Amino acid sequence: MAATQKPKKKPARSTDRRNIWLLIITTLLVLGSVFMFLPPQEKINQGLDIQGGLSVVLTAKGADGAAVSNDDMEKSRAIIESRVNALGASEAVVQVQGTDQILVQIPGLTNTEDALNTIGKTGKLEFARLDSFTDEDVKTKIENGEASGEGTVTDDLGVATLPTGETQHLKVEEGTYTPIITGANITNVSIGKAKETSADYAVNLALDSDGAAAFSAASKDLLPTHGKIVIILDGEVQQAPAVQDEISSNVSITGGYTLDEAKALQTVLESGSLPVSFEYAQSQTVGPTLGQDALASGVLVALIGLAVVMLYLLFFYRGLGLITAAAMIVFAVLYLGILATLSSFGLFSLSLAGIAGIVLTIGMAADSSILTMERFRE
């Protein structure tokens, strides 16, 4: 008669070792989560409805009233998004609305004026010889320094200067001048001091081979008479410096720019010109007061909900309830750690809807805990 073999029991020592490792790993995860989310108001990104910021709706204007194509809208969205990212904004929203509008939401933005001057600017840069202008009135104003100031161009970086504090720019019509180069000829944009001892900043442009050749030829031709090269951005004369030396492949634009103004111009030029022009249909600065009150209320509700659930577990399940309550605390800590980790990578931003989701998650965790306790009781 064949002897029946009893199934081998798993050694208790290996089970204990596994439990110890699980306890160690859980402890490390909890400590890591605490490190990641403390303090939560700094480690977890907040959305526009909580911390406030800038909300803008841009409406595209086609040439001569023509409809704007979907391709142009998508290109514009991508360019505006790159400009918003260059502002250092996190969790910004840039999306197309309808057929001719783009919604831009930037949470936590403080300098809204600079942002507005950057994100919606067409960014069409042109350099043109003054003697190519056909509008005599505009030509005379530029000659007399009534456009936006005058300066000089040197042989180092082609420095163009503009009097500090000048804010009005002369508008010129497209087609009334012949551009030497455009923004398409720019290969690199950088920022540096206008002069070693100056507090102003310059925007330095590096040109491609075609742009360098055209600029060099124009400056060489204008040098004997010290003719002027007009710098035009979005149809407005920025500067009209007189050529003092032949310029090669680098041009430096100075105009009494502060660092922020130079960075804004750099952002516009680096991202390229928009295929269509935009106007502000709506611009709103959202204050954080209401959002912070809602955040405080949401956190309070979540804590009250968690406390009520834990009291329920302790009252009905006593000793087992302690284990479940501890498990819920561990779950809450790990959950906050995950949110903080996602925030550090720019993948999460807490909104009022997110707070409601967290409260719902607490309820689901409590539900699963109660089901587990009921199975133990059975």
Residue pair 282/58 in contact by the 8 Å Cβ criterion: no
pLDDT of residue 154: 46
In the predicted model, is pLDDT for residue 148 greater than 60? no
Query: Please, which residues have CB within 8 angstroms of residue 165's CB and are 6 or more apart in sequence?
Result: 256
What residues pair up with 204 in beta bridges, in sequence order? 190, 252
- Range of lowest pLDDT (27-31, 208-212, 238-242): 238-242
pTM of the model: 0.56
In the predicted model, is pLDDT for residue 293 greater than 60? yes
pLDDT of residue 249: 67
pLDDT, mean of residues 339-349: 80
pLDDT, mean of residues 177-202: 84
In the predicted model, is pLDDT for residue 4 greater than 60? no
In the predicted model, is pLDDT for residue 318 greater than 50? yes
Q: What percent of the chain has pLDDT over 70?
A: 86
Does residue 344 or residue 74 have the better pLDDT?
A: 74
Top-confidence range, 137-151, 166-180, 211-225, 308-322: 211-225
pLDDT band at 67; cut points 50, 70, 90:
confident
pLDDT of residue 177: 92
pLDDT of residue 164: 40
pLDDT band at 10; cut points 50, 70, 90:
low
Query: Please, which residues have CB within 8 angstroms of residue 108's CB and are 6 or more apart in sequence?
Result: 46, 51, 52, 53, 89, 90
Q: How many whole angstroms separate alpha carbon 170 and alpha carbon 177?
A: 14
pLDDT, mean of residues 339-348: 80
pLDDT of residue 157: 43
- Summarised one tens digit per residue, pLDDT across range 94-116 is 888 888 889 888 887 766 777 77
- Summarised one tens digit per residue, pLDDT across range 129-142 is 999 999 889 888 88
pLDDT band at 150; cut points 50, 70, 90:
very low
- Among 187, 281, 273, 184, smallest CA distance to 235 is for 273
pLDDT, mean of residues 346-375: 77
In the predicted model, is pLDDT for residue 149 greater than 60? no
Mean pLDDT for the chain overall: 78
Residue pair 121/235 in contact by the 8 Å Cβ criterion: no
In the predicted model, is pLDDT for residue 163 greater than 70? no
- Range of lowest pLDDT (107-111, 324-328, 340-344): 107-111
pLDDT of residue 8: 56
CA atoms within 13 A on the CB side of 242: 12
Q: Which domains does the chain have, with CATH numbers?
A: 19-43+287-377 (no CATH), 53-286 (3.30.1360.200)
pLDDT of residue 160: 46
